[in-house]
Chain A
Amino acid sequence: MKKDNPTGQRKWNSNPNTWIMLLTIVCVAATLVMAVYVLWFYRSSYHEETEQAVYDKYYMMITEDNKSSIWRSIYQGACEQALEENVYVDWLGDDLFQGYSVEEQMQIAIAAGVDGIIVTANENEGMTELVNRASEEEIPVITLYGDNTQSARCSFVGIGSYNLGHEYGRLALQIIREKLIGQTVTYASVEEDEEQGIETAQIEEVKIGSDKRPVRVAVMVNSYAQGLDQNILCSGIQETIEQERGEKLAIEMEILSVDDTNAFSVEESIRDIFMEKDIPDIIICLNELNTTCVYQAVVDYNKVGQVNILGYYDSDTIINAIDRGVIYATVAIDTEQMGKFCINALQEYHELGYTSQYFTADIRLIQKDNVGEYLEKGDLADESDE
């Protein structure tokens, strides 16, 4: 063969053996690569369950409902803080025990032997008993949002209810001055001439805020669960309005009790209010769910502009509603700060054996003029979620 090719050019095409050799090497190499890949393939699925970090302490958070984003936000704040302290916080009502009351969840938490409980308490005796029992079991209890002053809870994290009430009162007066004064409503009165037996209807235009048609301010409170200290809050509102309203204004305060004894009843009872004849001019809502429901009802019953809403909490829905002008203002709580306070209080208690009795979270007012920054925040948050 070499004699035939004196130029010394190796002829690839004329030598099938070289090709076959190459092909063989390629195929064998590919086979081995394949085998390694297959090995790696199920090896990798072996090790997908990675080692999880072990935490020093385990706290449990119990709230009266698990739908509102306020609790989620608080839990998030607590979680972030907890992880920094190598502590894990579970939200008991999150998925598992939706049907259970706060008291029942407390019992479970105590039985589960957690290292600390964060609970939205109330002043019920049952709650006091449970908190005390937890203390006996050496489980520190932090009351969140709602307090149980009689019990042996080690700290309370919440909002200053009186201050909040004052803020709402101020906002209500602001609404009255900005929007309601000067507005008139047609007021039909029927006069009956008894002698003649004739009824005459008189239609007159009445100014809102006059004695005939006082401004109606309604505070919507829950009949059963008492998250905030509603009494203090209401008195805060009332006092502020009394002090700052001026002589000429006639303002009528009322408490709207919303039935929250069972699921979905809140929404129904709010709708009932709108079915009535006299709808308040200003509705002050004290929780997120109520705010959302009232907002929706106002839109549905075409009362935008007639009914002014003062909301609570800064969920996306509420922020958007402010932007559209349906809700006049809302009070936002620094929920993440609340969560952090809870963890800090528990950690402090574990370290020192005592902690501060009260932690008060900051509140912010969100109105039309500053809603923009919250909208952006919300959008940014949404984007970051994505």
Chain B
Amino acid sequence: MRVMSKRHSVSLQFKISSIYILTNLLVMIVNIVLLIGINNMSGRLDMVYQDNLHLNELSDALGVVQDNMTDYLNAKTTDSLEDYYRSEQDYRTMMADLNEQITGVPFDRMERNIRNMSEYYLEEVGQTIEAKRGRNVEKYRIHYEKATQMYEYTAAYITNLNLEKFRSNSERYSDLLKRFKLFESTSLVAIILVMASNACIIIRFVGTIISPLKKLAGSANEVAKGNFDIELLPVESEDEVGVVTGAFNSMVVSISRYIERIRESMEAERALKERELLMEAHLKDARLKYLQAQINPHFLFNTLNAGAQLAMMEGADRTYEYVQKVAQFYRYNMKKSEETVTIADEIEMVDYYIYILNVRFAGDIHYEKHIDQSLLAVEMPGMILQPIVENCVNHGIHEMGSEGNICLSIYYKGEKVCISVKDNGVGMSEETIHKVMSGTYREDNMAAGSNGIGMDNVISRMKLFTGSEDVMVIRSEGQDKGTEVCLYL
């Protein structure tokens, strides 16, 4: 494993260089081996006839000794004597190389014989020269004849050895040639093998280097097509390819995360826009309904104002106040229904409404307010409270027949502002409450005095305004036990 990890941690450059060096090394080793072999063989081919050359030299040297002796015997010159001594010395030097042991090799024994015969011959020659110097004619003749005879034998022996060696060397030469041919074919096979080995090594190593690149390319293509759901590539090595693979992996991860984030924010934006549009739609709807209900609010308002002035001029103060408040109520309805208002505005609106109703129905509605003064400035959508109160009056108190109580409380509940409208009317069944809350309850006949804004509209606008689902709770303890509607801001 350690080796593996070590191998995996080396760089691409190192890997490629290694392959190059390895294959070259292989080629070099085989080449060196072959070169040594060829060199060795050619050297030996050169050496084959070396023996014959030596023997030729030996033979020549022997001839020179004989010639010099003859010269001296002929002319007895100092030069020829000197030549003789020199040639004798030369010949002795050459003789020293000859074998002197008795072995099983015929050539060795022949060399030994030649050596001994040469000694014998040189002795005879020496005696001849000695006798010549002593002018002993008879003696030097005898020695000369013996020496000459010995020269002939020795020369013949050398020639024989030379011939024998030549024959054996020729055989060896052809044997060597055969071996050389064999070596050639062996070399060829070796070179082919090396080539095959190198090819295999290169294919193998390049394969290992290229395969992660191929995978990377495949993955990149997938990504280019837009498919980010690809399996992350395994980082097999820590070389440059490994680094690129790692970078690619993290890039794919980052891109997909980024895309996810963009998608989320777009989703949020879309929801926001949708809510705005919805709110607008509801408002428009409320206003439409209002306009349907109020044929001409301005005209009505001006008419009421004219009526109020007439009452004042006639000294009917209560009529004046009533007409005035009705006019205020409609003005508010006309003005505030489209915008965000404060709780105080809404309370005032409810006040007007209750007053009008009490005038209408001769004051049979008792109206209480428990208001946290600090909450008066809190904003809320307009035209919310009045419809609720209207519902209380129309469905709770009217149907009861007796004296109705409406209690409006505004207070903190937890972090939220709670606006509670409570009546002592007929109450609501659970089913009705559920229908109202889910917006499926429909009033078939709009009660008189209603401004036409339904509870579903109220709930929707509250939801849009707060951005929360829990905007309204309707509680009723049962038949004739009243109803409490709580709004949470």
A and B from one complex: yes
> Which residues of A line the B interface, CB within 8 A?
16-17, 20-21, 23-24, 27-28, 30-31, 34-35, 37-39, 41-42, 45, 52-58, 88, 90, 95-97, 104, 107-108, 110-114
Q: Which residues of B contact A90 (CB under 8 A)?
A: 106, 109
B214 at the interface (CB under 8 A from A): no
Task: Tell me whether A20 and B203 are in contact in the complex, defined as CB-CB below 8 angstroms, given that A58-B109, A88-B102 are known contacts.
Answer: yes
Nearest CB of B to A374, in Å:
32
Residues of B68-122 contacting chain A, CB below 8 A: 101-106, 108-110, 112-114, 116-117, 119-121
Cross-chain contact B193 with A53 (CB below 8 angstroms): no
Q: Which residues of A contact B56 (CB under 8 A)?
A: none
Nearest CB of A to B363, in Å:
84
B156 at the interface (CB under 8 A from A): yes
Could you jot down 22 A-B contacts, CB within 8 Å?
A: A24-B201, A24-B204, A30-B197, A31-B30, A31-B193, A34-B189, A34-B193, A35-B190, A38-B183, A41-B37, A41-B183, A45-B44, A52-B104, A52-B108, A53-B103, A55-B102, A57-B102, A88-B103, A88-B104, A88-B109, A108-B157, A113-B117
Cross-chain contact B150 with A111 (CB below 8 angstroms): yes
Docked CA distance A34–B149 (Å): 58
Which residue on B lies nearest to A24, using beta carbons? B200
> Which residues of B line the A interface, CB within 8 A?
26, 29-30, 33-34, 37, 40-41, 44, 101-106, 108-110, 112-114, 116-117, 119-121, 149-150, 153-154, 156-157, 160, 164, 176, 179, 182-183, 186-187, 189-190, 193-194, 196-197, 200-201, 203-204, 207-208
Q: Which residues of A contact B187 (CB under 8 A)?
A: 38
> In the complex, given contacts A31-B194, A53-B104, A96-B110, what are 6 additional A-B residue pairs having Cβ atoms less than 8 angstroms apart?
A24-B204, A28-B197, A28-B201, A107-B149, A108-B153, A112-B117
Cross-chain contact A31 with B190 (CB below 8 angstroms): yes
Docked CA distance A266–B214 (Å): 97
Q: Which residues of B contact A52 (CB under 8 A)?
A: 103-105, 108
Task: Tell me whether A42 and B40 are in contact in the complex, defined as CB-CB below 8 angstroms, given that A17-B208, A111-B120, A113-B119 are known contacts.
Answer: yes
Cross-chain contact A42 with B30 (CB below 8 angstroms): no
Which residue on A lies nearest to B179, using beta carbons? A45
Cross-chain contact B103 with A27 (CB below 8 angstroms): no
Nearest CB of A to B108, in Å:
7
Docked CA distance A24–B121 (Å): 70
Most buried by B among A37, A88, A111: A111
Nearest CB of A to B276, in Å:
49
Cross-chain contact B186 with A41 (CB below 8 angstroms): yes
Docked CA distance A57–B112 (Å): 12
Docked CA distance A27–B190 (Å): 10
Q: Which residues of A contact B204 (CB under 8 A)?
A: 17, 20-21, 24
Task: Tell me whether A113 and B26 are in contact in the complex, defined as CB-CB below 8 angstroms, given that A28-B201, A52-B103, A52-B108 are known contacts.
Answer: no
Q: Which residues of A contact B153 (CB under 8 A)?
A: 104, 107-108, 111
Docked CA distance A53–B44 (Å): 25
Docked CA distance A34–B189 (Å): 8
Cross-chain contact A34 with B200 (CB below 8 angstroms): no
Docked CA distance A34–B31 (Å): 12
Q: Which residues of A contact B194 (CB under 8 A)?
A: 31
Nearest CB of B to A5, in Å:
16
Nearest CB of B to A239, in Å:
44
Task: Tell me whether A58 and B104 are in contact in the complex, defined as CB-CB below 8 angstroms, given that A28-B26, A31-B26, A37-B186 are known contacts.
Answer: no
Cross-chain contact A30 with B117 (CB below 8 angstroms): no
Cross-chain contact B197 with A24 (CB below 8 angstroms): yes
Which residue on A lies nearest to B156, using beta carbons? A97
Q: Which residues of A contact B193 (CB under 8 A)?
A: 27, 30-31, 34
Docked CA distance A77–B338 (Å): 149
Q: Which residues of A contact B154 (CB under 8 A)?
A: 111
Docked CA distance A97–B154 (Å): 12
Docked CA distance A41–B37 (Å): 9
Q: Which residues of B contact A37 (CB under 8 A)?
A: 186
Cross-chain contact B103 with A55 (CB below 8 angstroms): yes
Cross-chain contact B156 with A39 (CB below 8 angstroms): no
Docked CA distance A23–B207 (Å): 14
Which residue on A lies nearest to B113, using beta carbons? A112
Q: Which residues of A contact B117 (CB under 8 A)?
A: 108, 111-113
Q: Which residues of A contact B101 (CB under 8 A)?
A: 54
Most buried by A among B26, B34, B110, B153: B153
Cross-chain contact B190 with A38 (CB below 8 angstroms): yes
Nearest CB of A to B233, in Å:
13
Docked CA distance A74–B390 (Å): 160
Docked CA distance A21–B104 (Å): 55
Docked CA distance A317–B40 (Å): 50
Our pick among A23, A38, A107, A108 for the contact of B186 (Cβ within 8 Å) is A38
Docked CA distance A23–B121 (Å): 71
Nearest CB of B to A102, in Å:
14
Q: Which residues of B contact A45 (CB under 8 A)?
A: 44, 176, 179
Cross-chain contact A31 with B33 (CB below 8 angstroms): no
Docked CA distance A38–B186 (Å): 7
Cross-chain contact A39 with B200 (CB below 8 angstroms): no
Nearest CB of B to A212, in Å:
58
Q: Which residues of B contact A57 (CB under 8 A)?
A: 102
Cross-chain contact B197 with A42 (CB below 8 angstroms): no
Q: Which residues of A contact B110 (CB under 8 A)?
A: 96
Cross-chain contact B186 with A112 (CB below 8 angstroms): no
Cross-chain contact B160 with A96 (CB below 8 angstroms): yes
Task: Tell me whether A38 and B26 are in contact in the complex, defined as CB-CB below 8 angstroms, given that A28-B201, A31-B197 are known contacts.
Answer: no
